[in-house]
Chains A and B, each alone.
Chain A
């Protein structure tokens, strides 16, 4: 049994150490908000935070996750969808089919953790998630809007 800390809770999972974190989250822990899109760290739909940093969980084996790592998924990003990124996403009505959006939101939240005021160039470099519906124009607006928000939903 492997011990993990996911969304603030200590959990134990019974899975082969080679299993990608994505599938541990989805199939062992029932956290299906984290999506499978490619399995090769290309699309970003599986993005979660490990100790505050965005990772593509399809490419992180369970063995690479350490005991003290804090894993946060879309389900644990905030209470009641009050994270600034979620508030901005709601305000601009960004999701279309929505399948890529948990990964998109986690990638943006992860970027804002270490770069609270990203420029467009920063965004281009760091947010490389794929969205086939085509929300990208609003995603950029949403990132700039999220920068101005606090978790209470008021301007910072």
Chain B
């Protein structure tokens, strides 16, 4: 959800654009991976930036975006391979490094992996990369045969000369192809002819994830490497005052205790367990900071709901006139808490620093900004630094472009031990204490109904924290944080918002935001503001339909009459679930548009006499326009319910005297199998546009279930998470 903002840091780096330093330490790598791209392995030069083909016909496809579970690595490879017409069974992938991208004038484009943009924002140029390579390979074969290229075709990595039937494999002509000038025109295939893209192929990265071979950042091991654990001041904004290193220096394995920046202290030891044990035993004094209490902030949010001043995000017609004439006015207040990403792999980075270079191994969603973080912390020119990306053990926005705090810390620790590799791994407690939290907000929703039960006016007042105000104030638009308007905005609110626009049509509408910022750093969190905005809109529509005595499907469809795609997904989910059947099943609906995709869900629940919820089944429908890998889209839809329903059911970060109270998964829980409903996914790509997949379904997860709970109980859950609320006694 970062597309509307300019990244000043990257802008700076692109401007630097110089060669990557070759100097550095010789390091042997566990697991056999390293910084070299395939062409450096002594086989053949790359055909182009996206494609390398070895003499053994192995096709190496470069993937600029990060793989964090969402399947983008496989999807991007499918798109390149489709145009390349190569043998899919011989495809492997590799990450170019941020330093190489910089040195080659950004040839791989954007590396930032967020906002469900991995495929939808790069499909064009990666397909062109594959197509250009195919054209060059055919030209090379034709030149060798001294025949016109137009007489040759390529399929499954074999080039055939039609008139003579001669064949040659890609690997045999790849070196010749690499010497050719790239084609001026690169036509792309009609998606209806796709044989690799658009198909439910298996992921390319599964095998190593089944046997422990996959190396994550937390698993990094370099020769001579030491391990560090860190503790930053738990009070927001507080500083490190002092620590008594003598108390722990004699503990097993301890090498060093040091201050990091002005707010943290780290222990470096032979093993991480030793480092963390010493850190736990280390006497530390903190000072200052803001003794922020979540409970106190609730009043500010409540005040914001009725404040006179607010930033207007969407205004259509005359909403106050509609309320003045209303036969009935329905009001409801909803509330969502702060939440933490809680990636399964805690934050980490491994760094080697010398006065001439700094190398970092980082599981990051944005290699380029990680490189900037490294260079800044290392106090070295960017061209003397390098970042090696690793698969992420979860990202969800925590490892994005504005959250390089742990990377910077790791560099500072490594700087204190020149030439020695150091891995900094946060404890889970540190990860919970120092997140970039999904912002808290409340919404007051008012609906004006006429005598016939039509919604004549709608006002959504959101009061809450702004992400942009904290992380990228330069991106505010006359003070408005357009991210707060996700899914509720007019398409022309700001560049990029057309893929985050409201797809309902209301005659009189006002959506505004009373910004109330607590002293807690917020962050982009999988789904971002679509998650709560969909709750606000879609639970309110449910309330209005109920007050109007109208069928909730019919009511919604009436207000999405200008958007057949949204109508289609909602109808598909409702029909498959059995909406309207008199079968005693309690159902709830939701439909939303975000990240360029149309999503809908129909949830089925039971609530027992004690108020205990069981979500039995969810039918979900998604229209992402183009579907590159339908089975992975299903996986993302299923996962979106885990993410969205974990938030709805269980997750809340609270602050007391400036400290996070939920220190681990025992108090900040996540859904387990016992909570998991059956999910049936309808992937219904209508073609012609490219929507996101990893996030949009999260928006409909909670409102569909909340609306189903109302169907079951007649009670509205308006205060999230549900946690231990008795659903029959709200």
Binding site for B on A (CB under 8 A): 16, 19-20, 23, 26-28, 30-40, 42-43, 45, 73-75, 77-78, 81, 86, 89-90, 93-102, 105, 123-125, 127-140
Tell me which residues across on chain B come within 8 A of A134, comparing CB atoms. 638-643
Q: Does B205 count as interface, using CB distance less than 8 angstroms?
A: yes
Cross-interface CB contact of B202 among A78, A93, A137, cutoff 8 Å = A93
B32 to chain A, nearest CB (A): 14
B426 to chain A, nearest CB (A): 10
> Is there contact, CB below 8 Å, between B673 and A95?
no
C-alpha spacing A101/B221, complex, angstroms? 21
Tell me which residues across on chain B come within 8 A of A129, comparing CB atoms. 672
> Is there contact, CB below 8 Å, between B392 and A135?
no
Main secondary structure of the interface of B (DSSP, over half): loop
Main secondary structure of the interface of A (DSSP, over half): loop
With A38-B664, A38-B665 known as contacts, the answer to whether A132 contacts B212 (CB < 8 A) is no
Tell me which residues across on chain B come within 8 A of A32, comparing CB atoms. 212, 215, 218-219, 221
A42-B666, A127-B673 are known; give 5 further A-B pairs, CB within 8 A: A35-B344, A37-B344, A75-B211, A97-B392, A137-B638
With A81-B211, A137-B676 known as contacts, the answer to whether A93 contacts B203 (CB < 8 A) is yes
> Is there contact, CB below 8 Å, between A99 and B393?
yes
> Is there contact, CB below 8 Å, between B394 and A81?
no
Binding site for A on B (CB under 8 A): 30, 67-71, 202-203, 205-216, 218-219, 221, 227, 252, 271-273, 341-346, 391-396, 425, 427-428, 631-632, 635, 638-643, 646, 664-666, 670-674, 676, 678-679
C-alpha spacing A18/B219, complex, angstroms? 22
> Is there contact, CB below 8 Å, between A27 and B676?
no
> Is there contact, CB below 8 Å, between A96 and B210?
no
Tell me which residues across on chain B come within 8 A of A128, comparing CB atoms. 672-674
> Is there contact, CB below 8 Å, between B673 and A40?
no
Smallest CB-CB A-B distances: 4 pairs: A33-B212, A134-B639, A134-B642, A97-B69
Q: Pick 29 A–B contacts, CB within 8 A, sort by A.
A: A27-B271, A30-B221, A31-B212, A36-B218, A38-B665, A42-B665, A74-B212, A89-B206, A93-B206, A95-B69, A96-B71, A97-B69, A97-B344, A98-B208, A99-B344, A100-B344, A124-B673, A127-B672, A130-B344, A131-B642, A132-B394, A132-B670, A133-B643, A134-B639, A134-B643, A136-B673, A137-B678, A140-B673, A140-B676
Tell me which residues across on chain A come within 8 A of B221, comparing CB atoms. 30, 32
> Is there contact, CB below 8 Å, between A37 and B212?
no
Closest to A123 in B: B673
Cross-interface CB contact of B209 among A31, A34, A42, A95, cutoff 8 Å = A95
> Is there contact, CB below 8 Å, between A45 and B344?
yes
> Is there contact, CB below 8 Å, between B219 and A96?
no
Cross-interface CB contact of A97 among B211, B219, B391, cutoff 8 Å = B391
> Is there contact, CB below 8 Å, between A19 and B672?
no
> Is there contact, CB below 8 Å, between B678 and A136?
no
Specify which of A81, A130, A135, A136 lies most central, judged by the most chain B CB atoms within 10 Å of its CB.
Answer: A136
C-alpha spacing A132/B344, complex, angstroms? 7
C-alpha spacing A124/B638, complex, angstroms? 18
Tell me which residues across on chain B come within 8 A of A127, comparing CB atoms. 672-673
B512 to chain A, nearest CB (A): 33
C-alpha spacing A28/B678, complex, angstroms? 41
With A40-B665, A96-B639 known as contacts, the answer to whether A131 contacts B211 (CB < 8 A) is no
C-alpha spacing A36/B347, complex, angstroms? 12
